[in-house]
Structure 1
Amino acid sequence: MILNFAILATIGATLALLWQPALRKAEVWRAMVTPLASIIGSGFLVLGPLLNHAYGRWAPVAMAALCLAAWGFGAAIRDNIRAIDRDGTAGPAWAEGAASAMLGFAYMISVAYYLNLLGSFAVSLTPVDSQLAARAVTTGVYALILGVGWVWGFTVLERLEYASVALKLSIIAGLSMALTVYTGVRLGQGTLVFSPASETGWAALTLGFGMIVTVQGFETSRYLGAEYAAATRIRSMRHAQLLATVIYLAYIGLVTYAFDPEGQHLSETAIVDMMAVVSPVLPVVLVLAALAAQFSAAVADTGGSGGLVEELTRKRITTRQAYALTVAVGLALTWAADVFQIIAFASRAFAAYYAAQSALAAARVWTQSRPRAAVYAALALLGAAIAILGRSVE
């Protein structure tokens, strides 16, 4: 009972803090909201059980590797932001166009990922918890998004982004506090878990490649030029990635050594059952966080893909038609693949985009700094390897 009250109090206090006018008006914080929402929304709910099942006691190391790769790709994109601010372009027009096309396609897949997670969490605490029911919910939400986007656009829904981020961070604070208490109790009892990895060697590496989408989202800062100066976008992207890294590493560390993956059923909503052991309050608030986070992220990426497609086709395909295309791709994935397969597809699509951005940065800085160019070239090769070799959990 005391822990339940403490969880709710932590959520309420964090929400009140995030709603302070001084914080909401701070420019760097406002610029952080979009990338942070996307990064945390991308993987927080699925990563804990997934990494624990695959890597056992080495899960925090795998999480650190994912965050390090994301930081490298983010560095290349930040360099490109500086170049665009200074020179008006990050590279040849055809190369930038190709990268934008990759991102537009990646957004289409990521929307499917977000909404399939939403569907799974929406039915997770109901008597109709099944793949068919989850897919039906996902299909209905797709219809809602297409209808709203076609008739009114997403301006009203996008205004909910800050509320969604604030709710999500508040629930993460409550979850982290509860997990810290639970893990501390297990430490005192001498019952911490140090389970072996179920994936090793090449299989472990390619599985990690298939999870890069879970730390994706920082690239959104690249496209906020109409709202924020380059220096602000660079600083806010860096801060968003650092904050997300701290959150992820703390969360994965607590889950890894407090829960034994042996005998647990691995699914996209496994976190709900795991947290029920800690507190009966957590499953409910986690489902609320999932619904808010996945819906807002899906709306943002649907709008992003629509704008990119319209720009790339020079308005031969309108934004509304692009929304319809995004929905068509998403529905095909929804009914043909499971969530873990969609995670791998999205990871490979975003990795291709990161490879293109890294290659642009490498080519541009070759004459200025060979070591920096070599790092970006290595990142481009890493992105290409992820795009080709990334796989899903079996």
Structure 2
Amino acid sequence: MTAIEQGTAGGTLNATTARLDRLGDAVIVIAYIISVALYLRIMAQYMVGFFIPGGSPIWEPVIACASVALIIAIGIFRGFTGLDRLDRISLAAVLVLTTVLGAVLLIHDGTLVTSSTLRLPPPPPVGTLDALLILGGLVITVQGFETVRFLGDEYDAVTRVRASRVAQLVATSIYIGFVLVATPVMGLGTAAGPDSTLLNITARIAPWLALPLVISAVLSQFSAAIADTAAARGNLTGLSSWFSGPRPYLISGAAAIAIAATIPTLVLVTIASRAFAAYYAVEAVIAFRTTSGVLRKCGFALLAVLLLAITLFAQPAS
């Protein structure tokens, strides 16, 4: 982050590296637009799954597209300040609800252990290569720390670096912790078979948490969509002076609506993962060019190759 910004500000940035940086900015805009559509499709999936058992192929894209329009309207009329305020409220609520749900699952796991009824779900019937390709298609679920890099007009470099590191630590603890407490209950199932969604699991072991879970999912996905909308707008304005006023919001919003209306959620997960992997591959090449030391360069080179492989070969979960 700082190496590119300092080189750009001082006019010392290598021409090839500068072109790679602009390529990365263009790729991340595409990734952001796809992820906005994905986050809001997931949000809609939780809402429809709760209120319409069995789901609805019509209401999911309708809700997602309407949500994109709402975020774009807030961005146009209130700007980053309006989006940031809404994002902060959503994030605070999500952290509280996630903590409560995680605690309930942990307590339930404890009862399974003490009663000797703990039964872990069976591993999926796929080979090692297929499993790795599917994991590559899930990059979107564990990314998002690059967003603060593109908020240079609002925060200084030190604040953004610190925010990115703290976000990675907090998110890692949440991801790992939640997988640990949720995995045991996925092996219980019902008379009709094992539960395949967190909403079904929650409704079975703690019915009173089903609605809070939906609220948490709605707020978390809405918050993520807000952050990526703001970041996409910032990148577009940096790419060209033509992207000024409401144009970045309108263009990214129209593209997100088209994607949310036409592409299934699981397919979107893999497409978004590939797009972010492509961006990270470009950034790894830039890091290779701007870092010093043989070990560092080898590490970034290997990372670039791995991310390129994910971009080309990642598979959807089903």
TM over 0.5: yes
Question: Which residues of structure 1 form unaligned runs of 5+?
Answer: 1-80
| TM-score (structure 1 length as normaliser) | 0.73
Find the counterpart in structure 2 of residue 65 from structure 1. Answer: none
Q: Could you tell me whether the CA contact under 8 Å between 1:306 and 1:320 is conserved in 2? A: no
Q: Could you tell me whether the CA contact under 8 Å between 2:121 and 2:186 is conserved in 1? A: no
Distance 1:233-1:304 versus aligned 2 partners, 3 A rule: closer
Q: Could you tell me whether the CA contact under 8 Å between 1:123 and 1:134 is conserved in 2? A: yes
Q: Could you tell me whether the CA contact under 8 Å between 2:119 and 2:184 is conserved in 1? A: yes
In the TM superposition, residue 154 of structure 1 has moved relative to its aligned partner by 4.6
In the TM superposition, residue 229 of structure 1 has moved relative to its aligned partner by 3.6
Aligned amino acid, residue 388 of structure 1: L
Find the counterpart in structure 2 of residue 236 from structure 1. Answer: 163
In the TM superposition, residue 265 of structure 1 has moved relative to its aligned partner by 5.7
Task: Find the aligned partners of 2:174 and 2:44 in 1 and give their Cα distance.
Answer: 25
In the TM superposition, residue 85 of structure 1 has moved relative to its aligned partner by 5.5
Q: 1:191 aligns with which of 105, 111, 117?
A: 117
| TM-score (structure 2 length as normaliser) | 0.90
Find the counterpart in structure 1 of residue 205 from structure 2. Answer: 278
Find the counterpart in structure 2 of residue 384 from structure 1. Answer: 308
Find the counterpart in structure 1 of residue 214 from structure 2. Answer: 287
Aligned-residue Cα RMSD (Å) equals 2.1
In the TM superposition, residue 303 of structure 1 has moved relative to its aligned partner by 2.1
Find the counterpart in structure 2 of residue 17 from structure 1. Answer: none
Find the counterpart in structure 2 of residue 72 from structure 1. Answer: none
Superposed structure 1 runs of 4+ greater than 6 Å apart: none
Distance 1:379-1:215 versus aligned 2 partners, 3 A rule: same
In the TM superposition, residue 243 of structure 1 has moved relative to its aligned partner by 1.8
The answer to whether 1:256 aligns with 2:183 is yes
Q: 2:289 aligns with which of 360, 363, 387?
A: 363
Task: Find the aligned partners of 2:140 and 2:178 in 1 and give their Cα distance.
Answer: 18
Find the counterpart in structure 1 of residue 46 from structure 2. Answer: 121
Find the counterpart in structure 2 of residue 223 from structure 1. Answer: 150
Find the counterpart in structure 2 of residue 342 from structure 1. Answer: 268
Distance 1:320-1:85 versus aligned 2 partners, 3 A rule: closer
Task: Find the aligned partners of 2:153 and 2:312 in 1 and give their Cα distance.
Answer: 34
The answer to whether 1:300 aligns with 2:227 is yes
Distance 1:232-1:88 versus aligned 2 partners, 3 A rule: same
Find the counterpart in structure 2 of residue 393 from structure 1. Answer: 317
Aligned amino acid, residue 107 of structure 2: V
Find the counterpart in structure 2 of residue 106 from structure 1. Answer: 31
In the TM superposition, residue 191 of structure 1 has moved relative to its aligned partner by 1.6
Aligned amino acid, residue 282 of structure 2: A
Q: 1:165 aligns with which of 91, 94, 100?
A: 91
Deviations 1:329-359 (A, max 9, x none): 2222223221111111110000111011111
Identity %: 32
Task: Find the aligned partners of 2:266 and 2:34 in 1 and give their Cα distance.
Answer: 12
Aligned amino acid, residue 309 of structure 2: A
Question: Which residues of structure 2 form unaligned runs of 5+?
Answer: none
Task: Find the aligned partners of 2:305 and 2:188 in 1 and give their Cα distance.
Answer: 33
Aligned amino acid, residue 119 of structure 2: V
In the TM superposition, residue 152 of structure 1 has moved relative to its aligned partner by 4.1
For residues 28-177 of structure 1, the aligned pairs below 5 Å read 81-84=1-4, 86-88=6-8, 92-127=17-52, 129-177=55-103
Q: Could you tell me whether the CA contact under 8 Å between 1:106 and 1:346 is conserved in 2? A: yes
